[in-house]
A and B are shown apart, each in its own frame.
Chain A
Amino acid sequence: NAGVMQNPRHLVRRRGQEARLRCSPMKGHSHVYWYRQLPEEGLKFMVYLQKENIIDESGMPKERFSAEFPKEGPSILRIQQVVRGDSAAYFCASSRAGKQETQYFGPGTRLLVL
C-alpha cells in the first residue's frame, strides 16, 4: 500500500546544471500535481498533469521548467540551467480521477543549488 513516491529525496546541483525530479503516484491515482515550498512558507502550486497531458501549468515559471507524465513511468519535473533561487523542496501529490482536490503528498525532493 505504497504512498506517493519521490526520488531523489535530496539533490545537489551546481548553477547551470539540470535537475530531474521523479514522482510515482499512489496506486489507483492517475492525476499528479507538483508544488514548490520555500523555507518557512506554504506550498505553491506549479503544475497539474494526467497521463500524457498537462492540464494546468499556471504556476510553472515560463522558462527552464517543464513537466511530463508519460504513459509509462513516473512523472518528471525538469529544471534546466538551475539557479540558486531554485533551491527549495519540491512536492508531488496525486489523486484519483474525479477527486482532484483530495491530494496525497509524497515526501518531497529537497533541491540545493550551489
Chain B
Amino acid sequence: GESVGLHLPTLSVQEGDNSIINCAYSNSASDYFIWYKQESGKGPQFIIDIRSNMDKRQGQRVTVLLNKTVKHLSLQIAATQPGDSAVYFCAENDGPSNTGKLIFGQGTTLQVKP
C-alpha cells in the first residue's frame, strides 16, 4: 500500500548547525513532493516542493533532495535557527493525475538548542 513515513520522530540540533530531515515514500506513481512546517497550534506552512523530474531544489536556507531509486526525500536546513523549531511533514501527491489529494507522513519534530 502507499505510505509516507519519516525515519526519525525527533531531531535535536544545535543552533547554527545544519539539519537533515528524512522521509520515505512507497508510491512509485507519486511525482510531486512537498515539505511543510507546522508550529504548535498553527496550520502547515509550505516550505518547498519538488517534482520527480528533478533530484534537487534549493530555496532560502532549505534544500530538498529526491532519490527516486530508493524512494527517499530529504529536507536540509542550513544554519538552523530557534525559529526553525517545529514539526516537519513531507507529503506526496496521489499519483501524477493532479487529483489534489496529498498524502502526509507522520512528521518529525525538530528541536533547536540555543
Interface residues of A (CB under 8 A from B): 4, 6, 31, 33, 35, 41-45, 48, 55-56, 58-59, 91, 95, 98, 100-108
Contact = CB atoms under 8 A, between A and B. Distances in A.
Interface residues of B, number: 24
A43 B93 CA distance: 13
Interface stretch (B41-49, B56-64, B76-84): B41-49
B102 A103 contact: yes
A48 B43 contact: no
B32 A42 contact: no
B99 interface: yes
B104 A43 contact: yes
A2 B107 CA distance: 27
B89 to A, nearest CB: 6
Contacts of A91: 43-44
Contact of A101 (B44, B93, B106, B107): B93
Contacts, number: 67
A100 B34 CA distance: 12
B101 A56 contact: yes
B104 A101 contact: no
B12 interface: no
Given A41-B106, A42-B105, A58-B101, A102 B46 contact: yes
B65 interface: no
A56 B100 contact: yes
A102 B49 contact: yes
A72 to B, nearest CB: 22
